[in-house]
Amino acid sequence: MQQIEMILNIGLFVVGLAFLVLGSDYLIQAATGLAKRMGVSDLLIGLTIVAIGTSIPEIVASIASISAGKADLALSNIAGSSLTNMTLIVGISAIVAPLATNHIILERDTKIMIFSFAVLGIALLDPLTPGVIAIWEAAIMLLIMLTYLTFLHWGRAECDTCYQFHIFVDFFVRLKFLTSLQGKLEPPKIVKTEIDVDDVQETFEDSKSTFRDLTIVTISVIAVAIGAQWVVSGAEYLSLTFGIGESVIGFTLIALGTSLPELTVSINSARHGFGRLLIGNVVGSNIMNITLGLGIGAFFFLSSYNFIVSILMVGFLMVISAIFFYFVQHDWKVTRKEGGVLILLYVIIQLISIYVAQLFLV
């Protein structure tokens, strides 16, 4: 009976990860098509569905963990996923083909990512409320996310040289995203024309497509929600059965499971010379993980994080992001040798996390 129970729980954990990842992919595709047919502006679609899409598995799993009172699982999942992106995903991709970078990736993405990591660190290690992300701190994290997304659009519309970190800080402090979006989110105006048979046929086809996308969105949302619950339940079972800390499971298994699907896409991007796009997506995903995954959970659910887990996760994020920062600006490319170093760093932080967990968290 115990073996059957173990197989079932491990199976649910694996299936839950699959539901999270596959459900998110279908959700992004269907929601984008649905939004376009409803007349939603391309800007709003880009700022929401597309930008957040790749981080949906991590975000949903973390919110589910926090709501279930497992804040350490959420933190380790988010930190582990972000670290996996910077080390394993970029490292393997760089070995396949060196990844070209530029000053925009450095100023616009990498510095903002490190800034979001620092804000998380201050929130968690604040001596007044150690191990707790207050509501106002969660609000700041969500504000960083909103500012980052609108800053991307604003810089593209203004000039490439506008992508400077100090301009982002000014954008953030002065809440300039409010004025930058003004008048840009309206749906396109509909111009009335004479109706003919072709128009009727096209409308009918659009209706069928809309119904199909609505069905896919509904099923995908259910799949993602169920998957998140199964992942959290599976992590709890694995922790109790094998005596492994939930933070280790979040940092290793869940983080790797939600990040691996991006590996194939990243390798293909590297092969075709899209290094800048690859690194930009990885860094953007990390920003979404931190600001949304932990920001939403902490805003709606008061949670307490283990102080040792907090120190470990924040320490990993700051050290690895500093090394990543150096590689991005060094000769403006991530070489195969540097890719090998990143993979080695991935192995090292995994071993350290397991060792620390055995000493302090079991």
**Do 124 and 131 touch, CB atoms closer than 8 A?**
yes
Domains and CATH numbers, the chain: 2-184+203-361 (1.20.1420.30)
* pLDDT tens digit sequence for 56-91: 888 888 999 998 889 999 999 999 999 999 999 999
Place 191 in a pLDDT band, splitting at 50, 70 and 90: very low
Contacts of 141 (CB under 8 A, 6+ apart): 116, 119, 120, 123, 133, 290, 291, 294, 295, 298
pLDDT at 58: 86
CA of residue 102 relative to chain centroid, distance: 22
> Given a cut of 50, is residue 259 above it in pLDDT?
yes
**Do 296 and 59 touch, CB atoms closer than 8 A?**
yes
* Higher-confidence position of 111 and 264: 111
| 3-class secondary-structure state, position 333 | strand
> Given a cut of 60, is residue 226 above it in pLDDT?
yes
* Higher-confidence position of 156 and 163: 163
User: Hunting for tokens 């991006």 — which residue is that?
Assistant: 262
pLDDT at 190: 46
Counting Cα atoms < 13 Å in the Cβ hemisphere of 256 gives 10
Place 215 in a pLDDT band, splitting at 50, 70 and 90: confident
> Given a cut of 90, is residue 5 above it in pLDDT?
no
d(C-alpha 182, C-alpha 351), whole Å:
49
Q: pTM for the whole thing?
A: 0.83
- 6 CB neighbour count, 10 Å cutoff: 14
**Do 21 and 172 touch, CB atoms closer than 8 A?**
no
